[in-house]
Amino acid sequence: MLLTNMYQQAALAFLFCAATVATASGADALPGSDWSSIAKLPDLNGVWEITFGGVVGGPPQQVVLTPKYAALLKAFQEAPAQDTPMANCVPPGMPGVMLQPYPIEFLYTPGMVTIVVEAFSQVRHIYTDGRKHPDDPDLTFNGHSIGRWEGDTLVVDTVGFTPDTPLGMNMGTRHSSKMHIVERFHLKDANHLELTMTIEDPEALAQPWMRSAVFGRHRDWTIAEYVCQQNNRNFMDASGKAGINLNHK
């Protein structure tokens, strides 16, 4: 009886939402939408650490800013802060959070891929159930992510970024709330995962900025805790001056 109801519900859902979310297993279901489908996805088990010097498809690109954002960078460079808010334990946000020298982990559940980022104990939820971005997303460090599988490649589309976080490694290279990032994750071989990022921003970038990284698999590692506030003795004050606290106890 229960089973019959489930099928009826699934059939109804399919009829009414045929173009969006498939709730029953079958040919029309999106990859990763249920447990049996998850078993067919690329094996990303284990923990992945960025490889130093790993790039995809040529040398890293230089960022090309719009005149307005180039002026912001110039103003920053005339009196640069000695550090970034990361010294005060503020996470970098996207895209920097994906390029930290700490491991990441991928978790599959029906309709979702979760990326656990060890640095700053960050979590990204990638909805692969066919939903769209909200029309007016809240602006966050890591944005709102939807994903889809193109064969063996996980394509992640992210919008809704707070402009408070930097675009690059310094606080002078900025992005706007209109930044849009498309990431493509693909297994290069058994133990190497390639990431290419295409970053667009109609206000900040004069042309799309491609970034890439290669991650190496460590099957025997686990993600560790990273509570930055535990014993943080570094700081940057409001004037941008860096400091260190040497008071033991």
**Among 120, 82, 80, CA closest to 229:** 120
- Residues in Cβ contact with 58 at an 8 Å cutoff, skipping those fewer than 6 apart: none
Q: Which position has the token pair 């106890």?
A: 249
Q: How many CA atoms lie within 13 A of 102 on its CB side?
A: 17
CB of 145 to other proteins, least distance (A): 22
Looking at 15, 27, 52, 189, which residue binds other proteins (CB under 8 A)? 52
Q: Which region, judged by CB under 8 A, interacts with other proteins, from 64-72, 144-152, 189-197, 235-243?
A: 235-243
The 10 Å Cβ neighbour count of residue 167 is 27
Looking at 60, 107, 109, 188, which residue binds other proteins (CB under 8 A)? 60
First to last CA, the chain: 65
- Residues in Cβ contact with 25 at an 8 Å cutoff, skipping those fewer than 6 apart: 33, 34, 36, 37
Q: Which region, judged by CB under 8 A, interacts with other proteins, from 3-11, 84-92, 135-143, 195-203?
A: 84-92
Measured from the CB atom, the residue of 22 and 193 that comes closer to other proteins is: 193
| Residue 226 near other proteins by CB under 8 A | yes
Binders of other proteins in range 152-211 (CB under 8 A): 169
Q: Which amino acid is at 56?
A: V
The pair of structure tokens assigned to 224 is 């560790």
CB of 234 to other proteins, least distance (A): 4
Q: What is the rounded distance in angstroms from the CA atom of residue 159 to the CA atom of residue 177?
A: 8
CB of 27 to other proteins, least distance (A): 42
Q: Which region, judged by CB under 8 A, interacts with other proteins, from 11-19, 21-29, 93-101, 159-167?
A: 93-101
Looking at 23, 83, 95, 172, which residue binds other proteins (CB under 8 A)? 83
| Residue 248 near other proteins by CB under 8 A | yes
Distances (CA, A) of 184 to 75, 110, 167: 34, 20, 19
Interacting residues with other proteins (CB under 8 A): 50, 52-55, 58-60, 82-84, 86-87, 89, 99-102, 118-119, 169, 213, 218, 221, 224-228, 230-234, 236, 242-244, 246, 248
